[in-house]
Amino acid sequence: MKTILFSALFFMAPVVMATDIKLPAPQVSGGKPVLDAVAARASAPGASFPVGRISDSELSTLLWAASGKNRASKWTIPFGMGVEPYVAIYVAGAEGLFRYSWQDHSLKKIAGEDARARISRQSFVASAPYTLIFASDRTSLKNNGRGQENWAKWTHVAAGAMTQQLYLVADALGIGARYLQSLNADFIRKILALPEDEEIICIFPLGKR
């Protein structure tokens, strides 16, 4: 990712000067026909996981697809009761840890540490150019005062749909991907400063073939 101007955010202690990175416009057309992408959809093997560089444009397209906010006024991910997303996407890369903001299609930097080698028990994750971390974020449900009794089920349904879209778009872009639940939850929770009532759902390493 390119170096962009800094804005101040706070992350635990000490204070980290953080960067809001505005992503380029995603690719919204072209690629493989959908049935070809479905036929080719597969998890990249850990033993030979691809480590080629993912461009800013490709990362932009992947996050755009995963968020579900890829139409002007509609979601393509099944979010209960029509509320805003209650699954957050974090991006771990060489430049640090970021939270994806679907509102303005940007990355909010929350830590400068390259945490890739510590977020999973699978050694190949350390070499993946990016790993996405999916975690529950019940803010929208809490703000609407509803859905609390079903939040756990809903977050997993949403994360499943998000990662399936990621698999298809990743294949169309020539990017290897793998859904993992082999993760170091305590470390991730600490570095992301997640509240105890939020759940780390999965991680999703990505690398160019």
Show me where the domains of the chain are located: 22-208
Residue 58 CA to residue 61 CA, distance in Å, equals 5
State the pLDDT confidence band at 1, using cuts at 50, 70 and 90.
Answer: low
Report pLDDT for 11: 31
Report pLDDT for 167: 95
Report pLDDT for 147: 60
pLDDT digits (tens, 9 = 90+) for 46-73: 999 999 999 999 999 999 999 877 666 6
State the pLDDT confidence band at 127, using cuts at 50, 70 and 90.
Answer: very high
Q: Is 134 exposed, middle or buried (0-12, 13-18, 19+ CB in 10 A)?
A: buried
Q: What is the pTM of this model?
A: 0.86
**Residue 36 near residue 144, CB atoms below 8 Å:** no
Candidates 1.10.150.120, 3.40.50.620, 3.40.50.300, 3.40.109.10; CATH matching 22-208: 3.40.109.10
State the pLDDT confidence band at 34, using cuts at 50, 70 and 90.
Answer: confident
Residue 68 CA to residue 74 CA, distance in Å, equals 8
Q: Is 176 exposed, middle or buried (0-12, 13-18, 19+ CB in 10 A)?
A: buried
Q: What is the mean pLDDT of the chain?
A: 85
